Structures are given as C-alpha cells and as structure tokens.
Amino acid sequence: MGRVHAETITFRVPSADVTAIFDPNGAAASEVAESYGIPHTADTSNEIINDPAIDAILICSPAPTHSELIIAAARARKHIFCEKPLERDLNRIDALLEAVNKAGVKLQIGFNRRFDANFARVRQAVVNGEIGMPHILHIISRDPAPPPISYIKTSGGIFMDMTIHDFDMARFLIGDEVEEIHAMGAVRVDAEIGTAGDFDTAVILMRFRTGVVGTIDNCRQAVYGYDQRVEILGSAGAIATNNLYGNEAVISTSSEIKRDLPLAFFMERYKESYANEIVAFVDAVKNDKPVPVDGNDGRISMLMVEAARRSYAEKRPVKLTEVASEAISTTAR
C-alpha cells in the first residue's frame, strides 16, 4: 500500500509531494524511491516523523506498529493517514486518539471502499431517499483465493483482516450505527486455516439502531474472481451494485450467454478508490477540512470486530455497548 499511495501522490496529486520514505527493508524503500522520484530514503521512521519540513505522514506498516507511530506523529504535529485497522487493541486505540486530539492534527483511516464510485452511489440513494427507508442491507465480500497460512497466523483473523472493511461499509451505507452483531463461521475452503486457529467462511447478522437488518457474507475463496456486491432494500425500492469486469462484452449463442470473469483482486477492483482517498486526505490537510474517515470510525470498526469475535466464540448475539463498556472499564483501571 505504501507503493500504491506513493504512486498516487506522485502522479495524481499535484498539490503534494512525497519527500521521504522508510521501510525496514531498505532495498524495497530504495526501489520505490527510484520508481517515483522520491528524493530521500530515511534510516528510521522517526527521521521522517521529526522532519520539520514534512506536513503529513502515511502509515502503511503492520497493525501492531500503528499506535506507536501515530502517537509519535501526533506529538510531532504531523497529520496522519493510517491504513486499517487503526489498532488491534481498543485501549491502545483510545490512547492514540487522545494523542491525536491533544495535538489537534488530522487522522484519516484507510477505509478505501467509501471512495468507490459504485458504493458512493448506493450511499447517495439512501441519503436522497430514492429507495425510501432502508429495510435490509446485504454485503457480499469474497476473495478469489485464500491468503498464505503464514498470513492467516498473523492477520488477526477473518473479522480483522477481511470483514472490518464490510463493517465500515455497513455503517457508511446506512448512515447509522450497528447495535448488535451475531456472527457464524466455518472452515469450508482449507482445513489448514482451521488448524491455524481461524475460519474461512462467515456470515454476520447486524441490527442497526434504527431497526435496519444487515448481513455480511464473507468467504476466502470464490473461484470465479473477486466478488464485491451490495444491495439495500427500502420501502420505496432497492439499489444494488454488481461486480466490476475487465470489459463489458457479452457473448450470446444458441446454447449460452457468457462474459469474462470479474476483476481478479482488490488492487484492480479498488484502484480508483485508493487514489480517491489520498486525494481527499491531501485536500483535508491543505484546506483544513475534516477528514472523511476519522479515528472514531476506526475505533467503531474495531468494536464491531470484537463483538463478532465474541459472538462467534460464545454462539450468541453481542451488543456493541457490551464490548465498549468493557473497554472503558479496562482503560479506567
């Protein structure tokens, strides 16, 4: 993602420049710097964070490093873009949000799907009342193939590395908060995923405060491609999005009607949304606007992850207030 964002700023954001890059893998940093004309490869992250000439930083490192980097950047009065998840621990999230608020800097979370044109149109239909009052939301999000087992062992689980995007999309599309989650999961694709302590197939039922009912359908393998669809049924109609394809050609013969498979994976499917979120972040920094996806959005998505985990483990619906109150209690101690 660091490479993707560096490319976006270099070629699509004339009002900003990438001036430095750091990666523990020095060769990788040098290669990206050469590709996009970045003038400096830093020896440490602190070298970038503490550079007075730098206005903002983008954090594209593994999740366990996020809180430390965000707090350091906030103390250095740097605006921050951070890839999801904000953090894996709710107490550390509260600590970093406190640092951000105290410093008065901007923090945007990398929930790029909000910036996808199709999903933005669904949200617009809800806001404009085109489908009346929403009744049912259904999100389908399936990967074309499971990741390596080495990734499964460190990803934090399917709710953390996959469903978290859908949790954010659910809130964004309906424009309301989820109050209760009931999650079920199974190992249907690869037994090794179960051995690693995770599962590869899940369905999550959500109830929003307004009474809207939502479902999320996840699987780590859809053999036909990257399956990303949304539907909302409302009192006056429905709106739905289909998958994106490399072309719009349809072949019709006497025996069948067919087309090519959907786009292969997220880097193709969401290429424009990745660019759009960075454009929005730079605009917020340059023109002192609120960021479109803030730290509280990152915190709520993690509350939803924790509620889903507990629901799956205890085989019962879990209210988000239950998870939130325990996080507050733990912080207080």
Q: Say if CB 108 and CB 285 are below 8 A apart.
A: no
Say if residue 330's pLDDT is above 70.
Answer: no
Residue 177 burial by CB count (10 A; 0-12/13-18/19+): exposed, middle or buried? middle
pLDDT band at 332 (very low <50, low <70, confident <90, very high): very low
DSSP H stretches of helix in 41-139:
45-49, 66-75, 90-103, 117-128
pLDDT per residue over 47-73, tens digit each? 999 999 999 999 999 999 999 999 999
pLDDT of residue 130: 98
Peptide bond into 292 cis (omega under 30): no
Q: Say if CB 305 and CB 311 are below 8 A apart.
A: no
Q: How far is CA 106 from each of CA 65, 221, 276, rounded to the nearest angstrom? A: 19, 37, 17
Say if residue 331's pLDDT is above 60.
Answer: no
Task: Count CB-CB contacts under 10 A for residue 126.
Answer: 22
Share of the chain above pLDDT 70, in %: 98
2-111 classified as CATH 3.40.190.10: no
Query: What is the domain partition of the chain in residue ranges?
Result: 2-111, 117-269+295-324
Of 300, 140, 311, 153, give the one whose Cα is nearest residue 227: 140
User: Looking only at Cα atoms, what is the longest distance across the chain?
Assistant: 71
Q: Categorise residue 107: left if φ over 0, alpha if ψ from -120 to 50, beta otherwise.
A: beta
pLDDT per residue over 113-161, tens digit each? 999 999 999 999 999 999 999 999 999 999 999 999 999 999 999 999 9
Q: How far apart are CA 254 and CA 237, in angstroms?
A: 34
Q: What is the DSSP string of 242-311?
A: ---BS---EEE-SS-EEEPPBPSSHHHHTHHHHHHHHHHHHHHHHTT---SS-HHHHHHHHHHHHHHHHH
Q: How far apart are CA 275 and CA 191, in angstroms?
A: 37
Q: Say if CB 12 and CB 279 are below 8 A apart.
A: yes
Dihedrals phi, psi of 179, to nearest 5 degrees: -105, -20
Mean per-residue pLDDT over the chain, rounded: 95
200-226: b or e for each residue (b if 16 or more CB lie within 10 Å)? bbbebebbbeeebebbbbbbbebeebb
Residue 85 burial by CB count (10 A; 0-12/13-18/19+): exposed, middle or buried? buried
Say if residue 329's pLDDT is above 70.
Answer: no
Top CATH class, 117-269+295-324: alpha beta
Of 269, 15, 25, 309, give the one whose Cα is nearest residue 161: 309
For β-strands 250-252 and 257-259, DSSP reports them as: antiparallel
- Residue matched to tokens 């949200």: 123
Domains 2-111 and 117-269+295-324 share a fold: no
Task: Give the torsion sign (CA, 183, 85, 240, 256).
Answer: negative
Q: Say if CB 21 and CB 57 are below 8 A apart.
A: no
pLDDT per residue over 209-260, tens digit each? 999 999 999 999 999 999 999 999 999 999 999 999 999 999 999 999 999 9
Say if residue 112's pLDDT is above 70.
Answer: yes
Q: Which amino acid does the sequence have at 325?
A: S
Task: Count CB-CB contacts under 10 A for residue 116.
Answer: 23
Say if residue 305's pLDDT is above 60.
Answer: yes
Query: Dihedral of the CA atoms 44, 47, 48, 53 (nearest 10)?
Result: -160
The residue among 66 and 265 whose pLDDT is bigger is: 66
pLDDT band at 327 (very low <50, low <70, confident <90, very high): low
Say if residue 189's pLDDT is above 90.
Answer: yes
pLDDT band at 325 (very low <50, low <70, confident <90, very high): confident
pLDDT band at 30 (very low <50, low <70, confident <90, very high): very high
pLDDT of residue 97: 98
pLDDT per residue over 162-183, tens digit each? 999 999 999 999 999 999 999 9
Q: How far apart are CA 180 and CA 316, in angstroms?
A: 10
Q: How far apart are CA 107 and CA 82, in angstroms?
A: 7
Q: Give pTM, 2 decimals.
A: 0.94
The residue among 332 and 267 whose pLDDT is bigger is: 267
